[in-house]
Chain A
């Protein structure tokens, strides 16, 4: 039940695109299409922005997109805006009916 692996930081300039990776195993990310991504601003609860690998909840801009290949998933933020600066976490359903989160990536908009 190890945490999913994310890079601790990522950055980009306004208008650019940035991708954040999330690496798991064949027991979680690789086995199920139940990868989610959350955005968390300081002092706030996490907000769901991607679920089931690529689906966006109502109200989430289409600048946010998700994908998966093998045991790794990725969140891409296109057309970076200053308000995108936040912590981003991935999660995955895993064998034995558990949910595993990543350690988080701090996105800085330069």
Chain B
């Protein structure tokens, strides 16, 4: 069955960097666009990034543009999120998720997430 397992979260100081990974299995990874979505404690989800199925395009909201980079390695069935210049408001549970249709139409399966805490 479909499985997404995020890792790489932790406690970091403001201004530092962190790289998250998402190991995918149970589906053809290279056929799907992939998202990162975060959820601050007690808050609703916030979309963070998307990468096309072939890696040709990436998009971000203004809140992370220029600081975060999404990438993928289809040979390892793994999605990444490089996060630089971290701020306190980046503190959240970060989920990777599968796009099941045209971009943004069907974020159909979410992993359990990895927690990122930005604090001095």
Where the two chains meet, the residues of A that have a C-beta atom closer than 8 Å to any C-beta of B are 1, 3, 32, 34, 36, 38, 45-48, 51-52, 57, 87, 89, 91-94, 96-104
The secondary-structure label for the interface of chain A is strand
**What is the distance, in angstroms, from B66's C-beta to the closest C-beta of chain A?**
15
A103, B44: Cβ atoms closer than 8 Å: yes
Chain B residues lying within 8 Å of A89, measured Cβ to Cβ, are 44-45
Say whether, besides A3-B44, A104-B44, A45 and B107 are in contact (CB < 8 Å).
no
- Size of interface on B: residues with Cβ below 8 Å to A: 29
Name the 10 nearest CB pairs between A and B, nearest first. A93-B104, A99-B47, A45-B110, A104-B44, A51-B106, A97-B59, A34-B105, A99-B104, A101-B45, A103-B44
Assembled-state Cα–Cα distance A87/B18 (Å)? 30
Chain B residues lying within 8 Å of A100, measured Cβ to Cβ, are 47
